[in-house]
């Protein structure tokens, strides 16, 4: 079955506070989105890349990746899940959807391979994730430590997240209709009673969110490109 990559890239990057959406900030010679797309477009097992864009986007068409034959663009929506759903409309029947944040340019080929290979162990789908390393605290109303959260079995959810496209579409639609807060694909699947697999991913697959993350992404990308 075909694997289609879906890239939500319709956010405005409010926490970054830059003069344009963060996916268009330059890191190591090209924009964050261009790095992300390169990783997916050049993967031999990914047949198509669908990128969801903001209605005001006037930068995407200037990327060299915009004319790649594997690439299709769609109009995103108000929430990340709406953008993913818009892209899922174009996923072929029986395909797998590999959903990856535009804002994670440091994804490695080996992590993509690892997630794709996990379909043998997790036919219901899986996500890249990282075991929590630090001691976790839950704050009280006063900004003090209320309690220590047991770290056992606690993971950070990353992307890509890999599911059967039609099933993901159904679960996202149902979860949104039920008013569930859907911050990643897995949460919609969980809500529908499915338990996605956890595949241990690399710590440098960061989501560029705050200005501080730009330097980190540059460092990780520099290492990957040299
Ligand atoms: N995204 C999207 N459609 C939305 C909101 C977000 O496609 N309506 C995308 C973003 O472009 C990003 C990914 O989802 O690649 C993860 O979202 P996030 O890191 O929150 O990005 P932004 O929403 O752009 O940032 P912020 O929340 O700081 O505004
Ligand atoms: Mg956001």
ipTM value greater than 0.90: yes
Neighbours of ion ligand 2 (CB under 5 A): 11
pLDDT > 90? residue 95: yes
Positive or negative: CA dihedral 162, 165, 169, 171? negative
- Ligand 1 near 125 CB (within 6 A): no
On whether the pTM is more than 0.80, the answer is yes
- Ligand 1 near 80 CB (within 6 A): yes
Between CA 40 and CA 98 the distance in angstroms is 10
- For the chain, the structural domain boundaries read 3-225
Residue 142 is encoded by which pair of tokens? 């006063």
Q: How far is the CA of 121 from the centre of ligand 2 (A)?
A: 31
Per-residue pLDDT, 8: 98
Between CA 158 and CA 2 the distance in angstroms is 22
- Ligand 1 near 11 CB (within 6 A): yes
Query: 3-state class of 46 per DSSP?
Result: strand
For 3-225, which CATH superfamily applies? Spore Coat Polysaccharide Biosynthesis Protein SpsA; Chain A (3.90.550.10)
- Ligand 1 near 98 CB (within 6 A): no
pLDDT > 80? residue 225: no
Q: Could you write out the DSSP letters of every residue in 95-149?
A: -EEEE--TT-TT--HHHHHHHHHTTTT-TT-EEEEEE--SPEEEE-TTSSEEEEE
């Amino acid at each position: 079955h075909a694997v289609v990559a879906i890239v939500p890239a319709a956010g405005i990057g409010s926490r970054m506070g830059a003069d344009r959406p963060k996916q268009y900030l330059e890191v190591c010679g090209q924009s964050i989105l261009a790095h992300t797309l390169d990783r997916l477009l050049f993967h031999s097992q990914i047949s198509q890349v669908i990128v969801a864009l903001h209605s005001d986007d006037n930068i995407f068409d200037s990327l060299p990746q915009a004319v790649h034959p594997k690439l299709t663009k769609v109009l995103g929506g108000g929430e990340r899940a709406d953008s993913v759903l818009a892209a899922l409309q174009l996923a072929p029947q029986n395909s797998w959807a590999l959903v990856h944040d535009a804002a994670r340019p440091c994804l490695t080929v080996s992590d993509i391979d690892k997630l794709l290979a996990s379909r043998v162990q997790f036919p219901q789908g899986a996500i890249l994730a990282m075991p929590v390393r630090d001691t976790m605290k839950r704050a009280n109303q006063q900004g003090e430590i209320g309690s220590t959260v047991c770290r056992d079995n606690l993971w950070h959810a990353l992307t890509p997240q890999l599911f059967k496209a039609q099933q993901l579409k159904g679960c996202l639609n149902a979860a949104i209709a039920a008013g569930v807060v859907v911050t990643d694909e897995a949460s919609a699947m969980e809500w529908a009673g499915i338990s996605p697999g956890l595949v241990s991913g690399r710590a440098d697959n960061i989501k560029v969110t705050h200005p501080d993350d730009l330097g980190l992404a540059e460092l990780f990308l520099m290492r990957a490109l040299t």
